[in-house]
A and B are shown apart, each in its own frame.
Chain A
């Protein structure tokens, strides 16, 4: 089913932001701290984690809306880490991003068709009748029908779900290979979400697209993701095939996250859990989950564990992974 060629390879990605410190000295946070990942052609990597864990920042770096502080982003064999100007323009044809709030990325005074016209002309050189036909094809492909009515409308005349479909059509207009979808359904009504997920799934199947699918909903991560990567405090805690991760989570944080999700078999008593947000400050030590982890020991405070392959294709960053496999913790 899966092809084996790698499309996106990220090595030790670090992203640093300045923040104002209390003592007026310039301080930094690193919400993305030595993150490595790989996405194959036609594969969906779901990225899950609570808000503030660094998901959007990784997504923005991967489509190069942000410049990484450290590390490498290699897409289709090219290092796009530091590209700019024309190279960056060309990279926009390879990688596109879909945002949580489609309205924010649409132009209220432009018609639906002109949202598609520009990228089709500029990036793919379509014109005249062919351009017209291509717009029709794209609208049909994303389920925006009746096409002739929709083309002339403006974004405010579309429903939330239709706007997200338009955002997808616009991303497709450059004929990309890779899409970062950042919580694309979280602002939509429940009855509309499934349609968008189905559409993204069809596009994956028909066009062989690769996705980084960012979500805080593990159930949709399992539905759409071939693999799931769990992020906490800017660090990768666990990566595995979706089913394996949901069924046999190993990292204590993943277990916690799963137990909190409706429909999970894992039950945990969270009643007096410490819900403190993780430390993102630059140069922090140890595992970000140490304050909340029932297995934490001294070493967890000192050093961040490496991602280790605990089972086939199942990578876990935890000093006590073996313990965690054996024990039902949190009881």
Chain B
């Protein structure tokens, strides 16, 4: 059987920031495949490297970021082999991103219409004003905002509406991959839920792939079918999201997260914190970066970084589990 081509393929991606304190190892050798018509979640605490990875996939890194040898392919195309012009075309039309806090970064002096039309005009010199307008109205309809708001300025809209606009802009050119970086984090739960429902609805119709970045464990496991859990720049586990309702046979950090989160309805209402704090990425602990906080750590964990092993179809980086051939 021929394997489907992934929409997104990451192979050994590492990104470091050159900072005064030293090299910040923000993303550390991660690999992942995302297929069409799926939602993959990326969970991690703040500072674990999620946004860095998203920005790197978009080829929009900060000046002091250093990307080491690796492959990032979107629709089979190596992003880092495109010239500037082709990259600009590729971005937004094949892959797009809803940036963290983007709803607060809409241009305050331009109307919503101007900002949406800009996406069309910058990618297609030949598109007519009329056609662009028609598509702008259609986009507003897709995200359920009355098209009278095309004439509004960002400050005239609520946070939830601005976030819908940002999503509309990201999907304007029908990309195959949409990266969403904490798209609902600053919003109230009801608004958050209506946006998530909207994202799901659009995704079902358009069938693009989503890499959904969030620190909210319950939310990601509900939305995504597959989840990558990031700790100190590494994917310590990649698993089916439904497996996360049980804490057995996971990475100890995943287990810690599962036990740390109070559940709304389960009978068992005990929770348990994870001791210690996330590590400093300039001076990562030796071996497995989680060992100082891990209740199961033994001497090997301090010495050697564990390789990925397959545990019931979960890719887990942990010495507790037998190494099985992938």
Contacts and interface: CB of A to CB of B under 8 A. Distances in A.
Interface of A: 50-51, 159, 161-162, 189-198, 216, 218-220, 222-223, 246-247, 256-265, 269-273, 275, 277
Nearest to B45: A189
A253 B98 CA distance: 30
A265 B260 CA distance: 21
A192 B271 contact: no
Contacts of B158: 275, 277
Contact of B189 (A197, A216, A222): A216
A191 B256 contact: yes
Contact of A190 (B160, B215, B272): B215
A261 B263 contact: no
B32 to A, nearest CB: 21
B264 A218 contact: yes
Interface string B232-265: 0000000000000000000000001101111111
A271 B273 contact: no
Interface stretch (B20-28, B166-174, B193-201, B317-325): B193-201
A258 B264 CA distance: 9
A247 B193 contact: no
Interface stretch (B63-71, B131-139, B217-225, B299-307): B217-225
B269 A222 contact: yes
A279 to B, nearest CB: 14
Contacts of A219: 218, 261-264
A272 B275 CA distance: 42
Contacts of A273: 190, 194
A50 B190 contact: yes
B122 interface: no
Interface in B180-232: 188-194, 197-198, 201, 215-219, 221-222
B77 interface: no
Contacts of B106: none
B107 interface: no
Contact of B271 (A159, A218, A223): A223
B83 interface: no
A220 B218 CA distance: 13
Nearest to B201: A271
A290 to B, nearest CB: 16
Contacts of A195: 273-275
